[in-house]
Amino acid sequence: AQSVTQLDSQVPVFEEAPVELRCNYSSSVSVYLFWYVQYPNQGLQLLLKYLSGSTLVKGINGFEAEFNKSQTSFHLRKPSVHISDTAEYFCAVSDQGTDKLIFGTGTRLQVFP
């Protein structure tokens, strides 16, 4: 069965600093990978997705992620964070051919002024 590990439950960072949120998945088959963001009391919004092709994926709000098949990782990065990036970030995986997403436990990014 698929599983997703987000190693950091919380990541505190100062404004304008770079950030990396880590995500590893377990799978021996082809997968789709996603990062979602959740603001307080809201649903999930898609940041970016990897389906195939280039391993570097650019998303909204200046975020990007790199798919690394050999390390089964899909880490999320942003070179310079803003206060407004404070939120919960979820990594998710699905088997190709299905929408069923398996989520990690989330990383709470807290940006300080």
Chain positions contacting other proteins, by CB under 8 A: 4, 6, 32, 34, 36, 41-46, 49, 51, 90, 94-106
Q: CB of 79: closest distance to other proteins in angstroms?
A: 24
- 113/99 Cα distance (integer angstroms): 38
What is the closest distance, in whole angstroms, from the C-beta atom of residue 15 to other proteins in the complex?
Answer: 25
**What is the dihedral sign for C-alpha 44, 59, 57, 49?**
positive
Nearer to other proteins among residue 29 and residue 113 (C-beta): 29
Report the alpha-carbon angle 33-68-89, nearest 5.
45
Nearer to other proteins, 53 or 113 (CB): 53
Nearer to other proteins, 10 or 71 (CB): 10
For residue 57, what are the CA distances in angstroms to 15, 51, 61, 87, 110?
Answer: 23, 10, 13, 20, 23
Q: Give the residue with the Cβ less far from other proteins, 40 or 113.
A: 40
